[in-house]
């Protein structure tokens, strides 16, 4: 079955840019003049996303999101607006929108947003696509002179399994441009930018590991906790982690092991659609190896990823 995006916007200039970009990446689309017309067009085709321009619309973000979830619960929602406020960004996050694109579009952010359509929900971190208090400096000279500390932010986590409180780092993905995407949807960032290093948060106590943006959402039950703390499983996680510290600045080894730990954890706990999540972990492993010039490891990860997807 074919897939496509549905677009509602009266802004011809921004609509043209959106159409050109979608066409470049082989994504079909339909434009809708009236928001009510999106419902009838949803059937008979897989809808990757709804692009909804809020300018001139009387309905609230909450009402639009509720309609979208009712008609096409698996479709991603991208809101567009010429007026950005922190309240609007927070509402978009609360209503599970995948992105808030502020007009005029930044091409890199638009490409990054579109590339996320092919990623599973667990791996789409909305904070990367919805502006917050810190906005990027789009001056190219500044972007070329970035320092690692300026791209990292410290985050406080509470482990949903053992209740341990700890700190870790996350990349400020909005601080650097995405110039393009590769055939496996790997975003192309400037040289020496490695966002996959900090993709996974790891509990310093029990070594529970999950996507940083979804880390605290899992709620294990009693028996699941008991199984997670079985001596053999704890030993296996500690053996895999070795003496690595995941709470500070990460190099290739910490980044790779964090992805492997997340894979081990999801196969143990089998939360959500864990098999798809595991496949995404393998894919992100190939991206990290490629970015850091680990060609042999990249090939190994690609082979394992292909074998996994063929077995689904």
Q: Are residues 109 and 155 in the same domain?
A: no
Q: Which residues of the chain carry a pLDDT beneath 70?
A: 1-3, 36-46, 107-108, 118-149, 173-180, 312
Within a domain: 304? yes
Rounded Cα–Cα distance for residues 161 and 269 (Å): 11
Q: Are residues 62 and 103 in the same domain?
A: yes
Within a domain: 136? no
Q: Are 18 and 44 in contact (CB under 8 A)?
A: no
Within a domain: 254? yes
Q: Are residues 179 and 256 in the same domain?
A: yes
Q: Are residues 87 and 183 in the same domain?
A: no
Q: Are residues 96 and 171 in the same domain?
A: no
Within a domain: 281? yes
Q: Which residues of 92-115 are buried (b: 16+ CB within 10 A; e: fewer)?
A: beebebbbbbbbebbebbbbbbbb
For the chain, the domain total comes to: 2
Write out the DSSP string of 166-179: EEEEEE-GGGS---
* pLDDT given at position 146: 42
Rounded Cα–Cα distance for residues 73 and 114 (Å): 18
Rounded Cα–Cα distance for residues 150 and 22 (Å): 31
Q: Are residues 153 and 286 in the same domain?
A: yes
Within a domain: 90? yes
Q: Are residues 278 and 210 in the same domain?
A: yes
Within a domain: 41? yes
CB atoms under 10 Å from CB of 61, counted, come to 20
Q: Are residues 30 and 179 in the same domain?
A: no
Q: For residue 16, give its domain range.
A: 3-128
Within a domain: 134? no
Q: Are residues 83 and 215 in the same domain?
A: no
Which of 103, 128, 153 finishes a domain? 128
* pLDDT given at position 1: 46
Q: Are residues 148 and 98 in the same domain?
A: no
* pLDDT given at position 137: 41
Q: Are residues 239 and 168 in the same domain?
A: yes
* pLDDT given at position 148: 53
Q: Are residues 160 and 236 in the same domain?
A: yes
Which of 128, 160, 176 finishes a domain? 128
Within a domain: 133? no
* pLDDT given at position 139: 40
- Which CATH number characterizes residue 106's domain? 3.40.50.2300
Which of 99, 128, 157 finishes a domain? 128
């Amino acid at each position: 079955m074919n897939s496509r995006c549905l677009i509602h916007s009266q802004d011809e200039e921004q609509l043209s840019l959106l159409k050109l970009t979608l066409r470049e990446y082989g994504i079909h689309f339909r434009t809708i003049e009236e928001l009510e017309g999106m419902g009838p067009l949803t059937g008979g085709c897989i809808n990757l996303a709804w692009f909804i321009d809020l300018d001139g619309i009387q309905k609230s973000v909450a009402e639009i999101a509720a309609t979208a979830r009712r008609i096409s619960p698996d479709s991603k929602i991208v809101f567009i607006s010429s007026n950005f406020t922190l309240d609007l960004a927070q509402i978009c996050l609360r209503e599970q929108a995948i992105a808030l694109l502020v007009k005029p579009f930044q091409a890199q952010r638009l490409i990054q947003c579109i590339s996320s359509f092919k990623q599973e929900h667990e791996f789409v971190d909305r904070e990367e696509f919805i502006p917050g208090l810190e906005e990027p400096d789009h001056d190219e000279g500044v972007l070329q002179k970035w320092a690692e500390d300026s791209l990292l932010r410290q985050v406080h986590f509470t482990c949903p399994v053992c209740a341990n409180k700890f700190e870790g780092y996350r990349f400020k993905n909005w601080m650097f441009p995405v110039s393009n995407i590769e055939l496996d949807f790997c975003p192309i960032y400037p040289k020496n930018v490695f966002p996959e290093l900090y993709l996974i948060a790891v509990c310093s106590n029990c070594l529970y590991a999950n996507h940083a943006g979804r880390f605290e959402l899992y709620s294990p039950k009693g028996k699941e906790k008991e199984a997670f703390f079985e001596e053999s499983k704890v030993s296996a996680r500690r053996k895999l982690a070795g003496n690595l510290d995941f709470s500070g600045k990460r190099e290739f080894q910490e980044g790779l092991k964090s992805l492997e730990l997340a894979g081990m954890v999801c196969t143990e706990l089998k939360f959500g659609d864990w098999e798809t999540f595991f496949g995404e972990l393998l894919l992100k492993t190939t991206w990290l190896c490629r970015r850091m010039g680990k060609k042999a490891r990249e090939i190994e990860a690609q082979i394992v990823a292909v074998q996994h997807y063929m077995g689904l």
